[in-house]
A and B are shown apart, each in its own frame.
Chain A
């Protein structure tokens, strides 16, 4: 089962991520009264880019983007999707948190080697923004880990199947709301699109990419979207479960020898939850203008941080 998971998970994550990119362009187009590209456009672009010529600025220029993409694939393997988690019990949420550093780190190394001020400005903004949203995000994750008294993400998902989603369980409500507030920043959509900011810094970190570099960067972006949304769904929307009835149904089906169907169904539910969350983020993306970096950090350190802090205090008092 685990081997199948390891082989299947990255392609599934890739397909979902790339579908999200296509979908977001489509929805954005409709909101703006345009027709929009076909939903398969990102895949067509990637295939085309692999066949195009490109320029390289050195070894790290390539290795950085490889590291970034490899890092995101590894994170995917540590995230439970529905009922299955390919590599569990290897350090839990803390390892995921630290593996997620590989993505910006690889991109930053590659961008630095590009020796273009636009990339450097983009990376500087990316790291500042990351610091901005990590403050509330860490408070939220600590509240979750303290509440469930474990650092294992698989256990957090399992426990939600018996006690209900974290988002609607009262002690974690504030943390969940705070997480929703910072989700656009984590995904890098407007109003937090300042890393790429095409009109200001010519797409920032990816300005020097062309051909296969740009293709890998797009794939990495797809994985990044998947990870950002999947982490939220796992921690606050109960992963692949929809309450105790589904758990009972699942155990009946499993005992009847239909374990595969259960895995498929939980996976499907997981995907639907991700879709809802992502579409909400696209709507936010469609209506808001871009913030400046100071405004973004000020926003992130104000309301979401206060909510997350209050959430952590509540959990801390309950669990003492």
Chain B
């Protein structure tokens, strides 16, 4: 199997799915799932078999290449897995919706485009696939219409700005070196001036920062994530925005190279340190904004921005530990955030579109599997030991502490405690507490929704107990960047300055848990009671209203909410307002009187003559 064939399958299947949908919906669903599964298998078969630059097309004077190395394989397999599970989740989620053929076309197109991005061997192909996903994402975000249209518009405007920045960077690279093949660029840039590298990095920082929602380019994300259909939110948050992470890795450590990147500036004023600070800010502020959200998907969207901060912090900090942590966190975040969006999607599906955290509650009794999925996902998000999120965060913290950056480490650590607050709010307000009467007859989520939730939960726990499996692959990536190799074992990292051993933790928790459970069992048996049978200090228990969810962290809101305005978004909105005013001011000169236009022409001529007389330019 060659890489061209892989991409041809991926792209053509999207269109075939669309056409099949015109014949029969069952056939279309089956084909979409089948093809996405096939892609997972094909990519899995490529494991450990890197493919060098394969020429596939010539464009203007440039040859376009595809290639596969460990970095792109790791991203590709994540894309394929999240892709297939989100398609399976869509089967029932999209059942009652309209224009489903179009939806599947776009979903498969996004997946194919992302595969294209990670397989590109040159920047032209990279750019083409980048645009494919930008536009299909736009169409998917605005799928629900109404307020989703505005969300999509915000996304596409910011995305276009990013694309333009990338285009400028590419053109300048082409003008300097006459090639856009990644492997050749990597050779050329090793002897480039300081200023030029900085210029390139800033351009690509804008591009990838917008896609990856790094502060201050995050403002499209909360809207887009909450308005998109839930299975697509899973893809969007899980992998699509991580294309920015892939871009960062590609530009920083492959094209520009480790040495150039890490020696750009000195000490606290070096580029990689400043980028780490951006990462740290991206952790703190969005995490606390997430705490005050009331919409489940909006909360998860802000949480995504916060988690992106960890990834950026990890890969920008630039030691082998921190980069391994950053890349691992990319994978882990894809797993638990996709899972959480699916959980919220399942709840939304069963409650007919309710995402408001203030009006749900007690669903654990009705949707137990979904609750377990939510619990595992939230534990991964917090980084509770024995979930995968713990390992990646541990790696990042250790790198930051031992390399003497305690303030960055503080930002990352305090982000975790903010995460606990909003994670618990999410779980408590949806699943715990009193079950309102209107949800008495709710059924559990259909199997096609439970299946991806179960698979993701298993992935999170498996890689939490045996983190060596992904870490081994990541170690190859990190060494290919030129960093020293990590001492990876199946259950963590062996090192002199503090090792990680998840098996010890696992055994300790299991044994302690069994012990406590036995003690618990030995006590007198308890009687199950109804949810209204509560202690209320002798007062009457109001039926259906005995629930504390609204303003769950009210004392904290009052303290921190004045500081948590989204200044960046307000600035952009103001900027857009100025643009609009300026345009309407410019429009005023079109008065419709011929005399006015003649005056304009005369004035312009006079100006030209004046310039010529004064400075004699022409």
In the bound assembly, the distance between CA atoms of A51 and B398 in angstroms comes to 47
Expressed in whole angstroms, the minimum distance between the Cβ of B467 and any Cβ of chain A is 11
Q: Are B390 and A57 in contact (CB under 8 A)?
A: no
Q: Are A89 and B407 in contact (CB under 8 A)?
A: no
| Residues of B with C-beta under 8 A to A97 | 413
Contact at A294–B558, with CB atoms within 8 Å? yes
B555 touches A130 (CB 8 A): no
Q: How far is the CA of A67 from the CA of B386 in the complex (A)?
A: 13
Which of A77, A138, A143 is the one whose CB lies under 8 Å from B508? A77
Q: For A87, what are the chain B residues with a Cβ–Cβ distance below 8 Å?
A: 504, 508
Q: A121-B548, A139-B410, A142-B409 are in contact. Are A55 and B501 (CB under 8 A)?
A: no
CB distance A73 to B516 under 8 Å? yes
A residues less than 8 Å from B420 (CB atoms): 101, 104-105, 127, 130-131
Q: How far is the CB of A113 from chain B (nearest CB, A)?
A: 6
The smallest C-beta distance from A243 to any residue of chain B, in angstroms, reads 26
Q: How far is the CB of A80 from chain B (nearest CB, A)?
A: 14
B522 partner, pick from A50, A142, A292, beta carbons under 8 A: A50
A145 to B427, CA, bound (A): 33
Set B401, B499, B548: member contacting A90, Cβ < 8 A = B499
Contact partner of B527 (CB less than 8 A), chosen from A53, A112, A294, is A53
| In the complex, chain A residues 30-59 whose Cβ is within 8 Å of any chain B Cβ | 49-58
Report if A286 contacts B (CB, 8 A).
Answer: no
Say how far A307's CB is from chain B's closest CB, in angstroms.
Answer: 15
Given contacts A70-B512, A115-B362, A152-B498, whether A53 and B558 have CB atoms under 8 Å apart is no
Q: In whole angstroms, what is the CA distance A51 to B525 when docked? A: 9
Contact A142 B410 (CB under 8 A): yes
Q: Is the CB of B515 within 8 A of A109?
A: no
Main secondary structure of the interface of B (DSSP, over half): helix
Contact B534 A62 (CB under 8 A): no
User: Does B535 have its Cβ within 8 Å of any Cβ on chain A?
Assistant: yes
Let me know if B517 is at the binding interface, CB within 8 A. yes
> Chain A 91-109 against B: per-residue CB contact (8 Å), 1 yes, 0 no?
1101101110110110011
Q: By the criterion CB–CB under 8 Å, are B406 and A134 in contact? A: no
CB-based nearest A residue for B493: A91
**Please, how many residues of chain B have a CB less than 8 angstroms from a CB on the other chain?**
75
Within 8 A of B (CB), among A11-30: none
The answer to whether B524 touches A146, judged by C-beta atoms less than 8 angstroms apart, is: no
Contact A142 B498 (CB under 8 A): no
Partner of B501, one of A91, A131, A146, A208: A91
Task: Report chain A residues within 8 Å CB of B504.
Answer: 87, 90
Chain A minimum-CB-distance residue to B372: A60
The answer to whether A135 has its CB under 8 Å from any CB of chain B is: yes
- For B414, B428, B515, the residue with the greatest tally of chain A CB atoms inside 10 Å of its CB is B428
Q: Is the CB of B529 within 8 A of A55?
A: yes
Residue of B nearest to A102 (CB): B384
Nearest Cβ in chain B — how far from A123, in angstroms? 7
Please indicate the chain A residues that have their CB under 8 angstroms from the CB of B553 in the complex. 124, 127-128
Q: Bound state CA distance, A297 and B558, in angstroms?
A: 12
Contact with B along A239-263 (1 / 0, CB 8 A): 0000000000000000000000000
Given contacts A131-B421, A145-B401, A293-B555, contact A74 B523 (CB under 8 A): no
B390 adjacent to A98 (CB under 8 Å)? yes
CB of A207 within 8 A of chain B? Answer: yes
B534 partner residues in chain A, CB cutoff 8 A: 114-116, 208
**A151, B432: Cβ atoms closer than 8 Å:** no
B509 at the interface (CB under 8 A from A): yes
Q: B568 — which chain A residues lie within 8 A by C-beta?
A: none
Contacts of B375 in A (CB 8 A): 109
Contact A55 B526 (CB under 8 A): yes
- Which residues of B are found within 8 Å of A60, using beta-carbon distances? 364, 432
Q: Per a CB cutoff under 8 Å, which of B394, B432, B536 touches A94?
A: B394
* B-facing residues in A117-171 (Cβ within 8 Å): 117-118, 120-121, 123-125, 127-128, 130-131, 134-135, 138-139, 142-143, 145-146, 149-152
Q: How far is the CA of A51 from the CA of B416 in the complex (A)?
A: 40
Contact of B382 among A67, A101, A294, A320 (CB under 8 A): A101
Contact partners of B536 in chain A: CB under 8 A: 116
**Is B383 at the interface (CB under 8 A from chain A)?**
yes
**B390 contact set on A, CB distance < 8 A:** 98
- A99 and B505 form a contact (CB under 8 A): yes
A212 interface residue (CB < 8 Å to B): yes
Residues of A within 8 A of B365 (CB): 58
How close is A318's CB to chain B, nearest CB, in angstroms? 11
| Interfacial chain A residues near B513, Cβ < 8 Å | 66-67, 70
**A152 to B556 alpha-carbon distance, docked (Å):** 33
Is A142 within 8 A of B526, CB to CB?
no
Tell me which residues across on chain B come within 8 A of A101, comparing CB atoms: 382, 384, 420
State the CA gap A312–B408 with chains docked (Å): 12
- Taking CB as reference atom, which chain B residue is nearest A142? B406
A-B contacts, 27 of them at CB < 8 A, read A52-B524, A54-B523, A55-B526, A56-B528, A58-B364, A62-B520, A62-B526, A65-B520, A73-B516, A78-B508, A91-B500, A91-B501, A92-B498, A105-B420, A109-B375, A112-B433, A113-B364, A120-B548, A124-B552, A127-B553, A131-B420, A138-B414, A138-B417, A143-B406, A145-B401, A294-B555, A316-B406
A residues sitting closer than 8 Å to B (CB atoms) are 10, 49-58, 60, 62, 65-67, 69-71, 73-74, 77-78, 87, 89-92, 94-95, 97-99, 101-102, 104-105, 108-109, 112-118, 120-121, 123-125, 127-128, 130-131, 134-135, 138-139, 142-143, 145-146, 149-152, 202, 207-208, 211-213, 215-216, 292-294, 297-298, 312, 315-316, 319-320
**Chain B residues at the A interface, C-beta cutoff of 8 Å:** 362, 364-365, 375, 379, 382-385, 390, 394, 397-398, 401-402, 404, 406-407, 409-410, 413-414, 416-418, 420-421, 424, 427-428, 431-434, 492, 497-501, 504-505, 508-509, 512-513, 515-517, 519-520, 522-524, 526-529, 531, 533-537, 546-549, 552-556, 558-559
- Given A50-B522, A109-B427, output 16 extra A-B contacts at Cβ < 8 Å: A54-B527, A55-B528, A57-B531, A91-B394, A101-B382, A116-B536, A123-B428, A127-B420, A131-B420, A134-B413, A134-B417, A142-B409, A146-B401, A151-B398, A151-B497, A202-B535
